[in-house]
Structure formats: C-alpha cells, structure tokens
Amino acid sequence: MASSKTVRKLQVASPVPADIDIANSVEPLHISEIAQELNLKPNHYDLYGKYKAKVLLSVLDELEGSADGYYVVVGEITRTPLGEGEITQYPLGEGKSTTTVGLCQALGAFLDKKVVTCLRQPLQGPTFGIRGGAAGGGYSQVIPMDEFNLHLTGDIHAITAANNLLAAAIDTRIFHEASQSDKALFNRLCPPNKEGERSFSNIMFRRLRKLGISKTKPEDLTPEEINRFARLDIDPASITWRRVMDVNDRFLRKITIGQGPEEKGMVRETGFDISVASEIMAVLALTTSLADTRERVGKMVIGNSKAGDPITADDLGVGGALTVLMKDAINPTLMQTLEGTPVLVHAGPFANIAHGNSSIVADKIALKLVGPGGIVVTEAGFGADIGAEKFMNIKCRYSVRALKMHGGGPQVVAGKPLDHAYLNENVALVEAGCVNLARHIANTKAYGVNVVVAVNMFATDSEAELNAVRIAAMAAGAFDAVVCSHHAHGGKGAVDLGIAVQRACENVTQPLKFLYPSDVSIKEKIDTIARSYGASGVEYSEEAEKQIKMYTRQGFSGLPFCMAKTQHSFSHNAPTGFILPIRDVRASIGAGFIYPLVGTISTMLGLPTRPCFYAIDGDTATGRVLGLS
C-alpha cells in the first residue's frame, strides 16, 4: 500500500550491485508496519521475528463479504539459461519474479495503488545449487532476501516431514501385512483398552465408509470384513509415493530400501524427489482451508492394491497426522519489497509436474485486503505454456535477450561468456525470436484476458531492438507492450508498465475462459493442451494407455490436467507441427489433477561442478548472509 509510513524511495547505483549487497543495504521495516498498512490487526497474524509474519486464515472469514481487487498474473516467454540463473556472472532480471516485484513497487510506491505481491517460496536446493535465489533481482527484490531464500518460516520443512511420514507408513504397512494373519493384524490395529474393549479410531471410520461397512464396533465385523478392512494388500510395483528432501542430491534419484536384517529381505527400489515436487506441496498451493487440506491429504493416492483399487493416505490411517504437521504451513508469510510494498509468500509447487503457482489462500487474502481498485500481482512458473496455462485451467478452476535465443541465436552455455550476438544490435535475430512471444500472447488471449508485455531492458539492448519487440507484441494482439528497467531502477523503472497493467485491468470485456471443459475424456484434454503448444497430434506409450484406462475406471477423468514437460520449448523437442509423445500418465488425486509426462522430467535436481554454495558464507561479526545471488 502506498503511504509515507511504508514506502521507501531507493538510492540506486550503477552498475547494479550484487543482489545480496542491495538487499543488505536496506533496513526492512518492522513487519507490523506492513501489516498495519494492510489493515491487519495483531490477532490476524503471528510474528516470526521482526521481518516476517504468518497471516492467519481467519482473516478470510472476517472479510468474506468484502469485494476483491484486480487479479494480475505474470508469466514469461519460453525460458533461456539466463532466465534460469545458470550463468551467474551476468545480471538476471529477465525472469518473472523480478518483473512481478518491480511492477508491484511501481504500483505501490509510485502510482499510489493498493497492491500485494503473491510469490512462491523458493527451493532451498537450487539456492545452493545452480540457480541461486528467487527473491527477484537488482532493485526489485523481496527482503530480507536471505530469509526469503532459505528456511523462511519452515513450510518446506513441514512438507518434507509430512511427505516422509507417509512414505514410512507405506513401507511399514507392507512389512506388517506380510508377516501377520488377518486376525493378528486386526487385533493390533484395534487393540483393547484397559477394560478389554476395542474401538475404531476416528480415521478408521473413513476406511470403513469407503468399504461400505456401516458397523461401529470392531467385534461386529465378520472375518471377510476384517480382511477387507485390515489388509490393504498394496502392490509394491504400483507405489508412486517417494521420499523427499530440499537438497539437490542426484545420487538419491534411485535407491533401494529394506536392506536391513530386520526387514527380512523386503527390498524395494524407490528414490527421492526434491521437496517441492511432493504432492503435499501441490495440496498446500490449491487448498482453501484447513478443513479442505484435511480432505485433500486424506485422498492422496500412493498406489494401488493388487486388485487395482487406489490406496489413500486415509486408508493408511495417516491423513490426520499429515494435517497436524501442516497446520502452520497453511498460513501465508507476510514480507516486503525493497520499497516497502507488501508481499505474501506461500507454497512453491514444482512447475513441471505440478502447477507452479503460489497458493490460492494467499491470493484470496490479498484480493480482500487490497479491495476494489487495488491490484494483486502473482506469478506463474516457467513459460506461459506451462505456468499460465496451469494457472488458468487448474488454479482458476478452484526480454529482448531471450528473444534473440528463440530467434536462433548462438547456444548459451553455463559458465562461458555470452556470444557477441547478445551484446550487439541484431534486429533480425530479435524479430525471428518474436515468433515465440507471439505464440505465448495468442495462447494467453484465448482465456479472454488482456495481455501486457513487459520488455525487460538491458544495457546491451538497442532502441531498434526494443521497438521491434513492441511492434511484434502489438501485432500479435497484446493490449500493450512496455519497456521496463526495474532491475536497475526498482519501481521507478516499471511505472509505465504499472499504468499499462492498471488500464488492462480496467478494460476487461469478457469472463475468463477455460481451455477445456471438465467433463471431457482424458485424451480429449491432453489433445486440446497439446494443440495449444502447436502439436499436430498426440502419441501414447503402452504404459500411458494403461494408466489412462485405470484412471478412467477409478473415476478420476473429470480432474484438470497438468502437463509435465520441459520448460525449454513448447514441445518435447520441436517448435511446431510435432507429434507430442505421452510416455506416462500419473495422478495427484489429493491436489486434484492428473499429470501426463512428456519426455523425461527429473524431480530430483543435481549439483553442477561449481555449485552456488561456493560463494555463500556468513559474516561472523554481524550474522549477515553473504554471497546469495
């Protein structure tokens, strides 16, 4: 919110210093000041130190009848190595996080608009690995930058703990079922109390209802009902649930478990994913309340029985415990930008196999807090073909240098100097790359929304190149196209963008459209999304065909779809006119989507030869973090 109490005018330097140096040069306001400007009362949030607070969901109950503000999502064109931070000796700033923050600083600090930024929490693994942090860049950042990029308020740690508790429950249940009779298993699941009486725990009634058993006393079950209730009979080959950790460790991608002597030779091949790839993270991002979280985590499917029936977390009796581990993580974290505008940080689902957007609850809270005429700006992970498509079809259902690369410019390799083509004027190369931009504009306009193109300006960009992008964007149907310098100048460098976005919000002429209806078949949904990429058709592997039949039989075909594919092109490997290969189809039933796999997607990242942690250290005198990028 714009106010003399909170808005801070930046003193910018040229050349732009390192991100961490900029972040450390600004003393954040006490988070209670940011909360006060949003009309949040002390009972609406819990303090986490001086600069962070957890906003409680009870705020939504109090503001239920109030009107919402405008809703803006920031996407991007197809990613380049520079946009992913792989070449750390060059300033980044072409990514959507920097644009999102810069736009909000312009709206709040210069245009006197009520504004809230809604961002995902970064992965800790890549922060120490190849990408560095994700707090924005230059003079458009979230602060404290080190806290934003590291533990924050522990949400990812809570997800890690919950995910691995479920993993342990799966293997433990298989182990005990393999060595016990139905009677012994049932007696241990429902042990007698001191008076010798047996009872079902509350969570067990969920499984009883699923089985169609209405009895309420253990002693009333028949032997056949005891067998159905107590024996999940999990098929180890069908298990999709893997352990997670928030560290890039390629050697955990494939492991074997159960090699101890007490496990009696029950060896199983499995592996680790990065924590944000957990379905529990996707649940956090898509949930609407604690009660909804409880239902979603209970419905998470971890595999099938040998009879082909889906096995859920509630079948394992662990849904309630998972919810308890997530009870604080469900609350968004309030932070601030360099210029004192408010930020809500919440969730960080993997953008390839999940929907890659920050949480619904954070956006809902923000929309109520800014009110009519105010603006909430959020971002969608990876290119618009991935993040924006999933934002529209999943979440809403419940730069010049990059363009040169898309125009066929020389390959960019991590750690090597940029080719001269990216440092000198080449209008033809920019114009060729605008084909990628035009496709993203057309796809996004299909949802019935106005598209504003932010052209992130670098010192090496010429006026002719910038004009070429603007002309191409407007020809492709953009509402406006604006040159920005928010990386170098903060909100001041995005004022024109802020004005264009405000105009776009005020000139919406049609309701949001979805790409596909919910009630069509699985293959119809996949085909529709594939054709939006430019594909001429879809090819299914034998395994994909098998999974489609199974999910249709199990009643999951009505869910939205989350295509798991590379972020480096619209397709798996071609620009247009290709056949999209679907090698497998998997499901996140608790989160509420099915995800087809296009090509190979790694869910556990690896460390490069020289990880980012080489540069990270702490000043032992001041306690400040050094070297984050």
pLDDT score recorded for residue 79 = 62
Rounded CA separation 494/456 (Å):
9
Q: How far is CA 262 from the centre of its chain?
A: 39
Greatest extent of the chain over all pairs of C-alpha atoms, in Å:
86
Q: Are 441 and 473 in contact, with CB atoms under 8 Å apart?
A: yes
The total number of residues written for the chain in this structure: 629
The average confidence (pLDDT) of the chain is: 87
Q: Are 355 and 285 in contact, with CB atoms under 8 Å apart?
A: yes
Read off the pLDDT of each residue in 451-465 and give the average, rounded to a whole number: 85
Q: Which residues contact 629 (CB under 8 A, 6 or more apart)?
A: 18, 19, 20, 85, 88, 132, 133, 612, 615
pLDDT score recorded for residue 424 = 63
Taking CA atoms, 395 is separated from 314, 369, 379, 496, 569, in Å, by 25, 20, 12, 29, 22
Residues 379, 384, 390, 393: is their CA dihedral positive or negative? positive
| pLDDT, tens digit (0-9, with 9 covering 90-100), for 536-571 | 899 999 999 999 999 999 999 999 988 887 665 655
Confidence band of 263 (pLDDT split at 50, 70, 90): confident
Beta strands in 474-536 (DSSP E): 480-484
- The Cβ of residue 296 has, within 10 Å, a number of other Cβ atoms equal to 26
User: In this structure, what DSSP letter does residue 447 have?
Assistant: T
Least Cα distance to 344 among 594, 517, 155, 592 occurs for 155
Beta strands in 49-207 (DSSP E): 53-55, 70-74, 115-119, 136-137, 140-143
| pLDDT, tens digit (0-9, with 9 covering 90-100), for 477-492 | 999 999 999 999 999 9
Q: Are 493 and 101 in contact, with CB atoms under 8 Å apart?
A: no
pLDDT score recorded for residue 132 = 62
| pLDDT, tens digit (0-9, with 9 covering 90-100), for 214-259 | 999 999 999 999 999 999 999 999 999 999 999 989 999 999 999 9
Rounded CA separation 543/547 (Å):
6
Per DSSP, helices labelled H in 180-266 are: 182-189, 204-210, 223-230
User: Which residue in this structure is represented by tokens 């932070």?
Assistant: 335
Domains of the chain from N-terminus onward: 19-154+328-506 (3.40.50.300), 156-325 (3.30.1510.10), 522-597 (3.10.410.10)
pLDDT score recorded for residue 89 = 30
| pLDDT, tens digit (0-9, with 9 covering 90-100), for 502-532 | 999 999 888 889 888 989 999 999 999 888 8
| pLDDT(298) > 60 | yes
pLDDT score recorded for residue 93 = 35
Angle at 562 between CA 558 and CA 566, to 5 degrees: 155
- The Cβ of residue 132 has, within 10 Å, a number of other Cβ atoms equal to 25
| pLDDT(185) > 90 | yes
Residues 141, 146, 147, 152: is their CA dihedral positive or negative? positive
pLDDT score recorded for residue 568 = 58
| pLDDT, tens digit (0-9, with 9 covering 90-100), for 399-409 | 444 444 445 55
Q: Which helix H or strand E contains 212, and what residues bound it?
A: none
Question: Which of 382-391, 401-410, 434-443 comes out lowest in average pLDDT?
Answer: 401-410
